[in-house]
Amino acid sequence: MAINEGLEEISKKGEAREKEIEIAKFHEERGKIKCECWQCRENKLVREEVKAKIKKEVADYEKEEKKADKQQCSDCGK
């Protein structure tokens, strides 16, 4: 009985591993294009958040750079 239970457990683990391999192959072949699995959706959200953060930082940097370019004239004070 214990042997049968052990074999069933190993079989379940093997099936789970096969599913993981199939998903990995699918992602490699398709390049994660239009994939709707939870991992891809989560990664997509994280990438979008990072891109938004980077865009904000770039915009802030450009504003500061423009301010640094404008300096007061030592002759007329403008």
- HSE-up of 42 (CA within 13 Å, CB side)? 3
Give dist(CA 30, CA 77) in Å, integer: 62
Give dist(CA 49, CA 43) in Å, integer: 10
Q: Which residues contact 78 (CB under 8 A, 6 or more apart)?
A: 72
Residue 60: what pLDDT? 87
Q: Which residue is listed with tokens 């891109």?
A: 51
Spacing of C-alpha 64 from chain mean position:
29
User: For 11-60, what is each residue's pLDDT tens digit?
Assistant: 888 888 888 888 877 776 666 666 777 777 777 788 888 889 989 988 88
pLDDT at 70 over 70: no
